[in-house]
Chain A
Amino acid sequence: MVGQLTVNERKLAFLILILIAVVGLAMAITGADKLFVVHGLIIFLSALGTIFLVISGYFLPPPDIENAKHYYDDPTRAGIIIAMVWAVFAMFIGDWVAWLLAFPEMTFDAAWASFGRLRPVHTTGIIFGFGGNALIATSFHVVQRTSRARMPDNLSPWVVIFGYNLFCLLAVSGYFIGITQSKEYAEPEWYADIWLVIIWVTYFILYLRVLARRKEPHIYVANWYYMAFILVVAILHIVNNLAIPISLMHAKSYSAFSGVQDAMTQWWYGHNAVAFFLTAGFLGMLYYFLPKQAGRPIYSYRMSIVGFWGITFFYMWAGSHHLHYTALPTWVQTLGMTFSAMLLIPSWIAAGNALMTLNGAWHKVRDDATLRFMMVAAVFYGLSTFEGSFMAIRPVNALSHYTDWTIGHVHAGALGWVALITFGAIYALVPWLWKQKRMYSPKLVEVHFWLALSGTLIYVFSMWNSGIIQGLMWRTYNESGTLAYSFVQSMVEMHPYYIARAIGGLFFLIGAIVGCYNIWMTVRSARMLAGAPEFETPDLGIASAQEIKAGEQA
């Protein structure tokens, strides 16, 4: 890894890490509260560990000049593996939380094991740890390939991956010990937020630099989606996290917003996190990996562009549907509702475009579980966006809000769309990157697919059921005009569904573990082959291209 850096880059890496270590140490020494000290130590130790890594490779011979003639894929490889580690960790916590809702006594009286702390560990770990690393890794791959240009330098991608994961680590460790600024999906405190801004700007500039070096004049549409993801997440993150720390030595800060403005800013952020983190970036993935794996160009390139502008401009206005029937002015709620309904159009354009691309290649979908992951992801994307537009209608939201219906919607999107498209992309990418003909075991990909699909269906159906029952019980009145059911009665009703959901989640988790094993074995067999002296790899990544027949695509 360090062997790939030029001597100057090694020096620079060393300097950057020393700087981080010093900041961490300063936080640990001056910290006025214990929590801040712990985070200082985590920063210090992460930097120190990486310094040792750099030193261990410092005196390796400088990299081959020939390298410049190849894409730089080591950061992508690392990113994929890190993403899978986060996936297993955060899904494990997710399933734990799921069991906790069925058996609330399972907290062993420990603060760190309480629902309120474990839940954000799940959401942050899965969205940012798993999703974020997968997006970063695949974006590095896609932008280089579609620009036909190598990374401008070897250090920046590592800065992004190291820095981003340090942020995730600070976030997740913070929740366990009780650090949060209580904004959903933006829980980390001010210093972690500032750190993420630095890393994110580095990421954006790196992306632009690759594009600036491109040899292919047209910027392929997947890059637009990835860029929207990077740029908008930067804006959202900065605005929503504007806050004043109580001192430079405390973990705690207070938001710059208050009252209904705070709520609106938070859900402008929250919904656009769905839009640009959980949707736009993954659409970038879809628009590259699906045509590639199917060996067929996207059905309508024009529609992908129309869809892009639709999504970027409509989503911005939809956030207020999270605040129906609140102190927010009604017209703002109506605006959010209207834009949410309009959002169905670009959403279905994307889902339809993906499925039409596969029209005529269904035999491939049948035989290739990797492609099937992507196909089912597109279906769930269509489904969850339809559901979302429906739930955004105020009277419907009166029923769904506060209930498990929302959780069902979230996981139809998160499991069915985000996780499945990611697994599909990873199964496509791993053999290409490690120069193998296929995954170690296509059978295990198949096993993962069915575990994931059945897990998703069990999860989503149980939450739909429990959500609607909950919603109806809460609004049923008796003859005297008072509520027919107590809250506790509705909870007793939920119990069987919570158990079902936890079992569905367990299937999904086991699937991810099977995936890790399969990826690991693929990497291992690649290593073993590479050890053999006359190892020559043919360019296998493009094998599927030869299968397009003339006339298949107008």
Chain B
Amino acid sequence: MNFEHEMLVGFAKSYGLFYLLALSLLVLVYTYWPSNKKPFDRAARSIIDDEDRPWE
């Protein structure tokens, strides 16, 4: 049991840190990728004038 506990702690303290750092980086790169700006702006506007029926 103790061994498992130590292992888990070690894993959480090392791997956990790096995977969260990597994830944050990925998210930031994705959101700030220049060519993504256009679709994002379009998406933001798209809800303002969503029509009253589904598209065919």
Inter-chain contact A149/B31, CB cutoff 8 Å: no
- Could you tell me the distance between the alpha carbons of A149 and B27 in the complex, rounded to whole angstroms? 28
**Which chain B residue has the least Cβ–Cβ distance from A149?**
B54
Inter-chain contact A149/B55, CB cutoff 8 Å: yes
Known: A220-B43, A302-B32. Is A292-B48 also a contact (CB below 8 A)?
yes
- Could you tell me the distance between the alpha carbons of A306 and B36 in the complex, rounded to whole angstroms? 14
- Could you tell me the distance between the alpha carbons of A145 and B40 in the complex, rounded to whole angstroms? 17
Inter-chain contact A148/B50, CB cutoff 8 Å: yes
Chain B 2-40 near chain A by CB (<8 Å), digits 1 or 0: 000000010010000000100110011011100001011
Inter-chain contact A296/B47, CB cutoff 8 Å: no
Inter-chain contact A288/B20, CB cutoff 8 Å: no
Query: CB < 8 Å: which of A148, A309, A313, A548 contacts B48?
Result: A548
Inter-chain contact B43/A221, CB cutoff 8 Å: yes
Inter-chain contact A146/B48, CB cutoff 8 Å: no
Inter-chain contact A309/B23, CB cutoff 8 Å: yes
Inter-chain contact A309/B27, CB cutoff 8 Å: yes
Segment at the B interface, from A262-270, A473-481, A539-547:
A539-547
Interface: A76 (CB within 8 A): no
Known: A146-B50, A148-B55, A149-B54. Is A305-B45 also a contact (CB below 8 A)?
no
Instruction: Report A-chain residues with C-beta under 8 Å of the C-beta of B50.
Output: 145-146, 148, 542
- Could you tell me the distance between the alpha carbons of A222 and B43 in the complex, rounded to whole angstroms? 11
Query: In the complex, what's the smallest C-beta–C-beta distance from A434 to chain B, in angstroms?
Result: 13
Inter-chain contact A291/B31, CB cutoff 8 Å: no
Instruction: Report A-chain residues with C-beta under 8 Å of the C-beta of B41.
Output: 297, 301
Interface residues of A in 50-101 (CB under 8 A from B): 69-71
Inter-chain contact B31/A146, CB cutoff 8 Å: no
Instruction: Report A-chain residues with C-beta under 8 Å of the C-beta of B37.
Output: 302
Inter-chain contact A145/B55, CB cutoff 8 Å: no
- Could you tell me the distance between the alpha carbons of A292 and B47 in the complex, rounded to whole angstroms? 7
Known: A150-B54, A306-B27. Is A220-B20 also a contact (CB below 8 A)?
no
- Could you tell me the distance between the alpha carbons of A145 and B49 in the complex, rounded to whole angstroms? 10
Inter-chain contact B27/A144, CB cutoff 8 Å: no
Inter-chain contact B54/A541, CB cutoff 8 Å: no
Inter-chain contact B48/A297, CB cutoff 8 Å: yes
Instruction: Report B-chain residues with C-beta under 8 Å of the C-beta of A220.
Output: 43, 46-47
- Could you tell me the distance between the alpha carbons of A220 and B46 in the complex, rounded to whole angstroms? 9
Inter-chain contact B49/A218, CB cutoff 8 Å: no
Query: In the complex, what's the smallest C-beta–C-beta distance from B44 to chain A, in angstroms?
Result: 4
Query: In the complex, what's the smallest C-beta–C-beta distance from B41 to chain A, in angstroms?
Result: 7
Query: In the complex, what's the smallest C-beta–C-beta distance from A496 to chain B, in angstroms?
Result: 46
Instruction: Report B-chain residues with C-beta under 8 Å of the C-beta of A306.
Output: 27-28, 31
Query: CB < 8 Å: which of B30, B32, B39, B51 contacts A218?
Result: B39
Inter-chain contact B31/A302, CB cutoff 8 Å: yes
Inter-chain contact B47/A148, CB cutoff 8 Å: no
Query: CB < 8 Å: which of A71, A292, A295, A302 contacts B53?
Result: A71
Instruction: Report B-chain residues with C-beta under 8 Å of the C-beta of A150.
Output: 54
Inter-chain contact B48/A331, CB cutoff 8 Å: no
Chain A 134-156 near chain B by CB (<8 Å), digits 1 or 0: 00000000001110111000000
Interface: A215 (CB within 8 A): yes
Interface: A298 (CB within 8 A): yes
Instruction: Report A-chain residues with C-beta under 8 Å of the C-beta of B12.
Output: 335
Chain A 281-297 near chain B by CB (<8 Å), digits 1 or 0: 00000001001100111
Inter-chain contact A148/B23, CB cutoff 8 Å: no
**Which chain B residue has the least Cβ–Cβ distance from A142?**
B47
Instruction: Report A-chain residues with C-beta under 8 Å of the C-beta of B30.
Output: 305
Inter-chain contact B20/A215, CB cutoff 8 Å: no
Interface: A493 (CB within 8 A): no
- Could you tell me the distance between the alpha carbons of A296 and B51 in the complex, rounded to whole angstroms? 16
Instruction: Report A-chain residues with C-beta under 8 Å of the C-beta of B52.
Output: 70-71, 539, 541-542
Known: A301-B41, A313-B23. Is A70-B47 also a contact (CB below 8 A)?
no
Query: CB < 8 Å: which of A291, A305, A309 contacts B47?
Result: A291
Instruction: Report B-chain residues with C-beta under 8 Å of the C-beta of A331.
Output: 9
Inter-chain contact A70/B53, CB cutoff 8 Å: yes
Interface: A33 (CB within 8 A): no
Inter-chain contact A215/B55, CB cutoff 8 Å: yes
- Could you tell me the distance between the alpha carbons of A366 and B23 in the complex, rounded to whole angstroms? 41
Q: Residues on A close to B: CB < 8 A? A: 69-71, 144-146, 148-150, 215-216, 218, 220-222, 288, 291-292, 295-298, 301-302, 305-306, 309, 313, 331, 335, 539, 541-542, 545, 548
Residue pairs across A and B with Cβ atoms less than 8 A apart, 17 shown, are: A69-B53, A70-B54, A149-B55, A216-B46, A220-B47, A222-B47, A291-B48, A295-B48, A297-B44, A302-B32, A305-B40, A306-B31, A309-B24, A313-B20, A313-B23, A542-B52, A548-B48
Lowest 4 A-B CB distances belong to which pairs?
Answer: A297-B44, A215-B55, A148-B55, A301-B44
